[in-house]
Amino acid sequence: MATIEVLGTGCAKCKRLLANAEQAVKELNVAMDVVKVDELDQIVERGVMLTPALSINGEVVSEGRVLDVKEIKRMLSE
Amino acid sequence: MQDYLQLFADYVTYTLLGIGQGTPLGSTVDFFIYDTIKVTLMLAVIVFFVGVVRTFITPRRVRKWVSGRPEGVGNVLAALLGIPTPFCTCSAVPLFIGFVESGVPLGITFSFLVASPLINEIAAAMLIGMFGWQIAAIYIVSGLVIAILAGVIIGRLHLEDQVEEFVWSCHMPERSEQAMTWRDRINFAAGESKSITRKVLPYILAGIAIGAVIHGYAPADFLLNIAGNDNPLAVPIAVLIGIPLHSNAAGMIPIIEVLTSKGMAMGTALAFMMAVIGLSLPEMVILRKVIKVRLLLIFAGILFVSFTLTGYLFNAILG
């Protein structure tokens, strides 16, 4: 099953991105896990310098921005 | 352009709203409409252009551009590149690790860390709109000088042993960034302009409204005795109060307008603003994960001294 990860150490922006990702998955009605990654070493290992970051199937697609639901849906359908 | 804006504000106030010309209420409303539109337009335009620039400058590229540069050149470059590259407080740690592990010297890393929150296009646009371009230029130039000097001093002190050990053994893999077309860049910048302007607008409205009322009704010398040019202790106290506080430029500038209109000296107000947006308690707590207490205190100490000196300098020049 495909996975979406929200990478961030837990600030307000990370929570908003997580909520938007969950909403996007719900609206698309696809079977995807939305996971929060808040361990610093894991974030660094992915090469992420700006949080919150979004990763789809292990590939970081956005850094340092709170994507809105529409943007996430577009990225998911690509 | 400004004339058309004034005509429009006059038309809305005196014709549409039917408020009498020359009355205090009339000039307050007129001023409010004129100023709000001016600052909002300026913000939208400046944020758009900086947004385009931002698509070329990511922290990942910044660390590539500054690594291998000598002291001085590297600090200047890092401080300049910090202007269009914002980061939220919680990104300070991955950003710091990313710079240091790729071999960027500590001093140059700090030049970036100081400049990035302190100077940005939102602060510039609002300062131009509310205080004029001279004050905005003074703010930007002194912010740059502080970021460059703070980095050079930290670099000279050779504090590498004050970085937590694990940082040196971190490895942050290189990530390729998606190629952007000009169309993508314009879209990104337009999106930034729209969302930032919308987010900042309430602060602008509140600031200008409070400012407009105060211009008319409150005594202008309320803060004059305690924070005017004659009290030498006002600057360090303002900076000391400002350092633990945290706010962004958008929230700060309306407050600065109120403080100065009540008699606080301009240099003191700018130093206070720098202390609030340049450094905060949450940021220090977060940075503690990667640097030891001594470096943290040196960092805060350097900023305290530089903000205070900046305040004195501008009180002397502007006063």
Pairing of strands A53-56, A59-63: antiparallel
| Sheet strand arrangement including A32-37 | A32-37, A2-7, A53-56, A59-63
Residue in chain A nearest B96 by alpha carbon: A49
| Active site positions of A, annotated | 11, 14
| B97 within 8 A of B130, measured Cβ to Cβ | no
Report yes or no: B87 and A48 within 8 Å, Cβ to Cβ.
no
Q: What pLDDT, in 10s, does the model give residues B28-62?
A: 788 788 888 888 898 999 999 999 998 999 888 99
Rounded Cα distance between A50 and B175, Å, is 12
pLDDT in tens, B63-108: 989 988 999 999 999 999 999 988 877 888 999 999 998 889 999 9
What is the share, in percent, of chain A residues with pLDDT greater than 90? 24
- Residues of chain B with C-beta less than 8 angstroms from the C-beta of A8: 90
pLDDT band, residue B250 (cuts 50/70/90): confident
Percent of chain A with pLDDT strictly greater than 70: 99
Distance CA(A63)–CA(A60), nearest Å, equals 8
Closest-CA distance of chain B to residue A78, Å: 14
Mutant choice from A18, A49, A59 vs B, greatest count of B C-beta within 10 A: A49
| ipTM of this predicted structure | 0.87
Q: What is the pLDDT, as a whole number, of residue B77?
A: 95
Beta-bridge partners for A33: A3
Strand partners, A35: A5
Say how far apart CA B182 and CA B188 lie, in whole Å: 10
DSSP state of B319: -
A44 and B172 in contact by Cβ < 8 A? yes
Continuous segment of H or E residues that includes residue A55: strand A53-56
Those residues with Cβ within 8 angstroms of residue B180's Cβ, 6 or more apart along the chain or in another chain: B55, B188
Domain ranges of chain A: 2-77
How is residue B48 written in tokens? 């758009």
Q: Angle of helix B121-131 relative to helix B24-54, nearest 10 degrees?
A: 150
3-state secondary structure of B269: helix
Q: A2-77 — its CATH code?
A: 3.40.30.10
Structure tokens at B84: 């269009």
What band does B5 get if pLDDT is binned at 50, 70 and 90?
confident
Task: Name the residue type at position B135.
Answer: I
Asked if the Cβ–Cβ distance from A50 to B289 is below 8 Å, we say no
Which residues are registered as beta bridge partners of A60? A55
pLDDT value at position B215? Answer: 60
Q: Chain B closest CA to A55's CA: distance in Å?
A: 12
Which residues from chain B sit within 8 angstroms of residue A50, using beta carbons? 58-59, 87, 91, 94-95
